[in-house]
């Protein structure tokens, strides 16, 4: 709550995972990344709507794409950009 500072709802990371990077919101979903995946959380139900096993930094493009920038995990692995069409 903006006025009182009380927690309205929360969503815990799955067991064995930890949150990384930033959080973004679009329409009815909040997107969070753990060290293993990105999760879409429904703001009305506070439940996981879907997930993708691609962790990374998050951004929403003006054309309603969720962008995930994943760093290289090894010296010989390239960094990747994943785009997911929303809606």
Distance of CA 18 to the CA centre of its chain: 12
Instruction: Record the tokens describing residue 42, joined without a space.
Output: 């429904």
Distance of alpha carbon 75 from alpha carbon 87, whole angstroms: 36
Q: What is the pTM of this model?
A: 0.88
pLDDT tens for the chain, residues 1 to 87: 899 999 999 999 999 999 998 999 988 999 999 999 999 999 999 999 999 999 999 999 987 899 999 876 666 667 899 999 998
Torsion angle of alpha carbons 13, 14, 17, 22, nearest 10°?
A: -30
Tell me the three state secondary structure of residue 53: coil
């Amino acid at each position: 709550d903006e006025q009182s500072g009380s927690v309205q709802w929360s969503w815990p990371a799955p067991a064995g995972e930890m949150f990384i990077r930033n959080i973004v919101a679009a329409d009815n979903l909040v997107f969070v990344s753990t060290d293993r995946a990105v999760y879409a959380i429904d703001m009305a139900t506070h439940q996981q709507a879907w997930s993708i096993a691609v962790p990374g930094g998050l951004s929403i493009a003006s054309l309603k794409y969720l962008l995930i920038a994943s760093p290289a995990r090894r010296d010989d692995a390239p960094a990747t950009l994943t785009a997911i069409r929303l809606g």
